[in-house]
């Protein structure tokens, strides 16, 4: 087992992702019913496995590289939905230094799982390879989990109307606007998720082009006679 992998930026960035995700989930009250909890658990499990693979194999290449793109999209969705749809774009930093110790811990937990982990995972995707592992057709597979989460959440609310946190997010709640409105939210989110996935794949392709080295020019081909190491006999005239 090679120890060089311990000193690579890939290893340390992924280790920070695992520590931040575990800390965020343990510090706060994150129920499994929430997409934030599920996406962070998936991210934590994936990058924990990647670290084990890296140390075990002595390589910076991640395990299951095609899954990496999906995990990146899922956790980026967590950060964007939290910031723009749930927090209305408000700055989360002031909440990290409030007077109440209990509130401060809660805010730090939310900050880790909603901001720190998504940004670090996105940085890993942008900075490190392997490149061009996921084909464009993977995009449709990537968006199945977040959409499936929404469908299962609505089905859970219908089947178990007395359950707590019946609708984990407002855009899944048909109480005021009906199921047609919820369906429209699904279409809107599917388009957004597809666009985000395409951006990630585009970044991957661009990084591959920027980091690829042009092939070295081939040496000039020697003359056929010189290649054989024999001088060409001169023709004599009678």
pLDDT tens sequence across 37-50: 999 999 999 999 99
Alpha helices by DSSP H, the chain? 9-27, 35-57, 65-80, 101-111, 117-127, 138-142, 144-159, 178-211, 224-227
Contact 118, 82 (CB under 8 A): no
* pLDDT band at residue 217 under the 50/70/90 scheme: low
**4 vs 40, residue with greater confidence:** 40
pLDDT digits (tens, 9 = 90+) for 21-35: 999 999 999 999 999
Compute the average pLDDT of residues 177-197: 97
CA 30 to each of CA 4, 19, 40, 43, 71: distance values in angstroms, whole numbers, following the listed order: 36, 16, 10, 15, 19
Q: What is the pLDDT of residues 34-83, one digit of tens each?
A: 999 999 999 999 999 999 999 999 999 998 999 999 999 999 999 999 99
DSSP per-residue string spanning 24-83: HHHHS---TTSHHHHHHHHHHHHHHHHHHHHHHHT-SSPSSHHHHHHHHHHHHHHHHIII
Q: Compute the CA torsion angle 201, 206, 212, 217 (nearest 10 deg).
A: 130
Q: Fill in the DSSP letter of residue 200.
A: H
Residue 220 C-beta-side C-alpha neighbours within 13 Å: 3
Which pLDDT score, from 0 to 100, does residue 232 have? 47
């Amino acid at each position: 087992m090679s120890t060089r992998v311990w000193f690579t930026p890939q290893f340390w960035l992924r280790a920070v992702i695992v520590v931040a995700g575990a800390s965020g989930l343990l510090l706060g009250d994150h129920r499994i019913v929430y997409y934030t909890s599920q996406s962070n658990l998936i991210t934590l499990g994936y990058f924990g496995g990647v670290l084990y693979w890296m140390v075990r194999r002595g390589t910076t290449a991640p395990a299951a590289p095609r899954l990496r793109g999906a995990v990146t999209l899922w956790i980026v969705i967590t950060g964007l939905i939290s910031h723009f749809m749930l927090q209305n774009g408000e700055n989360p930093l002031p909440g990290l230094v409030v007077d109440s110790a209990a509130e401060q811990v809660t805010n730090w937990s939310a900050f880790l799982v909603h901001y720190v982990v998504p940004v670090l995972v996105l940085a890993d995707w942008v900075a490190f390879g392997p490149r061009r592992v996921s084909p464009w057709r993977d995009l449709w597979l990537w968006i199945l989990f977040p959409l499936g989460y929404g469908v299962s959440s609505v089905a859970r609310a219908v089947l178990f109307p007395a359950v707590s946190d019946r609708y984990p997010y407002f855009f899944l709640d048909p109480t005021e606007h009906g199921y047609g409105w919820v369906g429209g939210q699904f279409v809107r989110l599917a388009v957004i998720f597809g666009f985000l996935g395409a951006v990630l794949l585009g970044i991957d392709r661009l990084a591959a082009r920027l980091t690829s080295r042009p092939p070295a020019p081939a040496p000039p081909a020697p003359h056929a006679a010189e290649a054989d190491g024999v001088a060409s006999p001169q023709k004599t005239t009678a």
